[in-house]
């Protein structure tokens, strides 16, 4: 397939390009920069110049493709709600390019959207449109496209990691550097699901090849890693004390990250594994944190 890939030079996209090419697909990667274009050409992909701020240009690129994978997202979490709305607009534009065809569109969301609450594991068969995470806007846009007949599926991400980046843990590292302590809220028993980068990119490939409308997949290798354990790994890596802070001090200590610091977000990938034959094999989150060059 000729696959139009947003976020092609990002953390996930840059690993997904060779995964798709190796499987025999053509890749048209979106980038806004000359450096990104050079990287895509060197990897063997074609280049489409575009930005998330101009969804019309992305729609034009998607219209010429056999399939679309949308991994791009503006990770400025100080403007998280605004960026989730921007993602909704982009998803809508991409879907409009595929309306009336069976060409697949794979979008990205977070595992929190599948949480039933009460500390239960998030599941692929659950969608909670009232979840406090604004990222549910992405799946709401996807649902509207499904109703319009677009062949859309969703890859939900946990904390995707390798020894360089780890999702929301990366800003926790920056905060620990700034504050001189690695902190968690209360007892730190709240959990983050995790998945290795290479397992995630393999899942995106399988999802676009499966072409299953309405499917939701979880790129989860570990159902829940306690935040205290994460903080202890950061303490080892940065050689700083590990401390507990009260909920009333979370906003002062974590800033914008406070909205996530105490969330309990365990998630399962059991249905994904059964439906796609996908099985995570990558290193654990703590192993990658211990392997980092801090």
The DSSP H or E segment spanning 282 is none
pLDDT along the chain (294 residues), means of 10: 98 98 98 97 98 96 98 89 95 97 97 91 92 88 97 98 96 97 98 98 98 98 98 98 97 94 96 97 98 94
Residue at token pair 């899942």 = 203
CA 97-101-102 angle, to 5 degrees, is: 115
Cα distance between residue 160 and residue 158, in whole Å: 6
Chain Cα centroid distance, residue 249: 28
Angle formed by the axes of helices 169-179 and 227-238, to 10°? 50
Tokens of 178: 């700034």
Sequence-distant (6+) residues with CB within 8 A of 38 are none
Q: Is 36 helix (H, G, I), strand (E, B) or coil?
A: helix
Size of the chain, expressed as the number of residues it contains: 294
pLDDT given at position 212: 97
Residue at token pair 């909205």 = 259
- Positive or negative CA dihedral for 255, 172, 265, 218? positive
Could you say which of 3.90.25, 2.30.30, 3.30.379, 1.20.1740 is the CATH number of the domain covering 162-192+223-267+283-291?
A: 3.90.25
pLDDT given at position 140: 96
pLDDT given at position 118: 85
* Interior/surface letters 262-294, b for 16+ CB within 10 angstroms, e for the rest: bbbbbbbbebbbebbebebebbebbebbeebee
Q: Where are the domains of the chain?
A: 2-160+195-221, 162-192+223-267+283-291
Tokens of 153: 């599926």
Q: What is the pTM of this model?
A: 0.96
Count of other CB atoms within 10 angstroms of residue 258: 15
CA 218-134-140 angle, to 5 degrees, is: 65
Q: What is the DSSP letter of 33?
A: S
Count of other CB atoms within 10 angstroms of residue 175: 17
Chain Cα centroid distance, residue 59: 21
Q: Which CATH superfamily is domain 2-160+195-221 in?
A: NAD(P)-binding Rossmann-like Domain (3.40.50.720)
Cα distance between residue 110 and residue 133, in whole Å: 9
Chain Cα centroid distance, residue 240: 29
């Amino acid at each position: 397939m000729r696959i139009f890939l947003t976020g092609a030079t990002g953390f996930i996209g840059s690993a997904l390009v060779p995964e798709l090419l190796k499987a025999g697909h053509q890749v048209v990667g979106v980038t806004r920069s000359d450096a990104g274009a050079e990287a895509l050409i060197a990897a063997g992909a074609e280049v489409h110049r575009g930005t998330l701020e101009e969804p019309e240009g992305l729609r034009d690129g998607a219209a010429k493709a056999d399939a679309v994978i949308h991994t791009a997202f503006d990770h400025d979490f100080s403007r998280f709600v605004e960026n989730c709305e921007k993602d909704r607009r982009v998803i809508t534009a991409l879907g409009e390019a595929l309306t009336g065809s069976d060409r697949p569109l794979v979008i990205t969301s977070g595992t929190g959207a599948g949480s039933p609450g009460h500390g239960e594991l998030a599941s692929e068969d659950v969608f909670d449109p009232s979840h406090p995470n604004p990222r549910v806007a992405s799946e709401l846009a996807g649902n509207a496209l499904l109703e319009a007949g677009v062949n859309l599926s969703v890859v939900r991400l946990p904390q995707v990691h390798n020894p360089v980046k780890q999702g929301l843990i990366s800003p926790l590292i920056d905060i620990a550097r700034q504050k001189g302590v690695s902190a968690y809220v209360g007892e730190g028993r709240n959990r983050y699901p995790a998945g290795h980068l290479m397992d995630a990119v393999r899942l995106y490939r399988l999802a676009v090849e499966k072409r299953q409308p309405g499917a939701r997949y979880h790129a989860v290798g570990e159902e829940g890693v306690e935040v205290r354990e994460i903080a202890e790994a950061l303490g080892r890596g940065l050689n700083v004390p590990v401390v507990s802070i009260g909920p009333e001090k979370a906003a002062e200590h974590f800033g914008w990250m406070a909205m996530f610091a105490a969330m309990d977000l365990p998630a399962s990938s059991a249905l994904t594994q059964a439906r796609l034959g996908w099985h995570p094999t990558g290193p654990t989150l703590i192993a990658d944190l211990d392997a980092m060059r801090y």
